[in-house]
Amino acid sequence: MKNKTIILVTTTLLACIALFGQAQTTGKKYVMVIHGGAGNILKKNMTAVKEAAYTQALTLALQKGYEQIMSGKTSVDAIQAAIIILEDSPLFNAGKGAVFTHEGRNELDAAIMYGSTLAAGAVAGVTIVKNPISAARLVMEKSGHVMLAGSGADKFAAAAGLEIVDPSYFWTKESWDSFQGVLKADSVKQAQGNMKSMNRGAVNNDSKFGTVGAVALDKAGNLAAGTSTGGMTNKKFGRIGDAPIIGAGTYANNKTAAISCTGWGEFYIRSVAAYDVSALMEYSRMKVAAASKTVLGKIQKLGGTGGLIALDKNGNVATPFNTSGMYRGMISEDGKVEVYMYK
């Protein structure tokens, strides 16, 4: 009788664990997730044409990454292929279409990390590299360093044979107009003596978002993460955000997950956000969804806004955000694309 009770309790417990496990995942195995930035993305502000353009760009990026994975290439190849599409699209705050600094320049940040070896590379404040994600990859593979900044990073990329463009290449009317809007709002605040709320940039005042990121899982079971951004509108003094900082905006570890963040970078740096997701999974045995939610909760508590994407070694996905929307998409093992924008 006692044995029977023990068996019954054990079976019920196992069933509960199985159910809980299922509730944490969709049961589907994803091989790549991307984001195109979090912010004030509302259906009522979107035209059908704009929605279609975002959907098309995100779909193409996912397909390019997927092609790499299916042909047996690494997750790093997939990340790079997907992010290049998003950097080349003027819709996003990365590569062409990047936001403007206070001086009216474009200073771009990017990072990439390989979960198999924990190799990582990043560039910050580059101004002439057409695809900063490719520069980040070269830093990882060829420089002997992890992070290069400013003119040195530009020089390194040029010497390595990457495509170099005139800084005017990054200019788009939409970014310029939103920069002018932020400058105007700032001068009003300055006149009112409200210095504290000035210059907080894109995510807070919703003038422009669109940092891009990707996380991928290749056929060999290796994870990678990458992020690329123009940073925040009206940034000053050589400001660098979370995106190129390994562990803050970008992190990948085969033991846990690959993570790419978007949002108000200062909060993600202070929270060491991407690494925190991985650490919660590694040390607290949290699942990717719970760890991602916990980290976003911590950021929110500090006053930060944004989101993140995470993909674990089993193909489970988490895409939490605390803004009204986040451009995001994922592709499963069977090639099915899903794209979302709103809550």
Nearest approach, Cβ of 293 to ligand ASP (angstroms)?
19
**Binding region for ligand ASP (CB under 6 A) out of 1-9, 11-19, 79-87, 238-246:** 238-246
Residue pair 212/94 in contact (Cβ under 8 Å)? The answer is: yes
Binding residue for ligand ASP (CB under 6 A) from 95, 97, 241, 325?
A: 241
Residue pair 111/250 in contact (Cβ under 8 Å)? The answer is: yes
The string of DSSP letters for 243-306 reads TTSBTTTEEE-TTSEEEEEEE-HHHHHHHTHHHHHHHHHHHS---HHHHHHHHHHHHHHHT--E
Burial 156-191 (b: 16+ CB within 10 A, else e): bbeebebeeeeeeebbbeebeebbeebbebbeeeee
User: Which CB atom, from 111 or from 289, has the smaller least distance to ligand ASP?
Assistant: 111
Phi and psi (nearest 5°) for 162? -75, 160
The string of DSSP letters for 37-70 reads EEE---GGG--HHHHHHHHHHHHHHHHHHHHHHH
Total number of residues that touch ligand ASP (CB under 6 A):
16
Instruction: Name residues contacting ligand ASP, limited to 12-41 (CB under 6 A).
Output: 37
Binding residue for ligand ASP (CB under 6 A) from 66, 114, 179, 209?
A: 209
- CA–CA gap between residue 250 and residue 225 (Å, rounded): 6
**Greatest extent of the chain over all pairs of C-alpha atoms, in Å:** 81
User: Which CB atom, from 229 or from 292, has the smaller least distance to ligand ASP?
Assistant: 229
Instruction: Name residues contacting ligand ASP, limited to 68-97 (CB under 6 A).
Output: 93
Instruction: Name residues contacting ligand ASP, limited to 250-279 (CB under 6 A).
Output: 262-263, 265
Binding residue for ligand ASP (CB under 6 A) from 84, 243, 308, 318?
A: 243
231 belongs to the binding site for ligand ASP (CB under 6 A)? yes
User: Which CB atom, from 68 or from 319, has the smaller least distance to ligand ASP?
Assistant: 319
Nearest approach, Cβ of 287 to ligand ASP (angstroms)?
25
132 belongs to the binding site for ligand ASP (CB under 6 A)? no
125 belongs to the binding site for ligand ASP (CB under 6 A)? no
* 211 assigned to active site: yes
**Binding region for ligand ASP (CB under 6 A) out of 119-127, 156-164, 235-243, 297-305:** 235-243
Place of tokens 């496990």: 21
Task: State which H helix or E strand residue 186 sits in.
Answer: helix 173-191
Q: What length does the chain have? A: 343
Binding residue for ligand ASP (CB under 6 A) from 133, 232, 288, 341?
A: 232
Nearest approach, Cβ of 94 to ligand ASP (angstroms)?
9
Binding residue for ligand ASP (CB under 6 A) from 178, 211, 253, 260?
A: 211
Distances from the Cα of 117 to the Cαs of 20, 280, 341, in angstroms?
Answer: 32, 20, 33
Rounded to a whole number of angstroms, the distance between the first and last alpha carbons of the chain is 52
Binding residue for ligand ASP (CB under 6 A) from 218, 242, 276, 312?
A: 242
203 belongs to the binding site for ligand ASP (CB under 6 A)? yes
Instruction: Name residues contacting ligand ASP, limited to 148-187 (CB under 6 A).
Output: none
Q: Which residues pair with 321 in a beta bridge?
A: 307
> Of the residues 25, 127, 211, 229, which is catalytic?
211
User: Which CB atom, from 76 or from 99, has the smaller least distance to ligand ASP?
Assistant: 99
Give me the amino acid identity at 190. Q
Q: Is 133 helix (H, G, I), strand (E, B) or coil?
A: helix
Place of tokens 């020089």: 155
202 belongs to the binding site for ligand ASP (CB under 6 A)? yes
Q: Which residues are catalytic?
A: 211
Interacting residues with ligand ASP (CB under 6 A): 37, 93, 202-203, 209, 211, 229, 231-232, 241-243, 249, 262-263, 265
